[in-house]
Amino acid sequence: MSLPNLSNTPLPSDDPDKQGLAYSSKEAYEHIKEGGHKGGQTRAQQLGHEGYEEMGKKGGLARTGQSSGEAAEEQGVEIDESKFRTRDSDKTE
């Protein structure tokens, strides 16, 4: 299976007119953008500072055709996935 060449794909923009996605209005775009921001904040609270930082390090290594785990291994970067657990997952029921 061949992966698409994304080298000429434009980077995301904050301007909805420059997005490749069709929004019904600028207001709809703002709601979606705000939801993404709130989701990121929630995830950061769930993981804590160290976990969120570690996840960002791993995500930054991902490349087309290669997982972030493979890229980390290839580049010799250690990722502590134990920090990915949410604070609630440590509690027992």
Q: What are the domain boundaries of the chain?
A: 25-86
Closest CA to 89 of 57, 51, 47: 47
Phi-psi region of 76 (alpha: psi -120 to 50; beta: other; left: phi over 0): left
- For 45, residues 6+ apart whose C-beta sits below 8 A from its C-beta are none
**65 conformational bin, left if phi > 0, alpha if psi -120 to 50, beta if neither:** left
Contact in structure between 47 and 86 (CB atoms under 8 Å):
yes
Residue 28 has pLDDT above 60, yes or no: yes
Alpha carbon distance 65, 57 (integer Å): 18
8 A C-beta contact, residue 68 and residue 75? no
Q: What pLDDT, on a 0 to 100 scale, did the predictor assign at position 31?
A: 80
The answer to whether 70 touches 62, Cβ cutoff 8 Å, is no
Q: Is pLDDT of 30 > 60?
A: yes
Encode pLDDT of 41-85 as tens digits: 888 888 888 887 887 777 777 776 788 788 888 888 888 878 877
pTM over 0.75: no
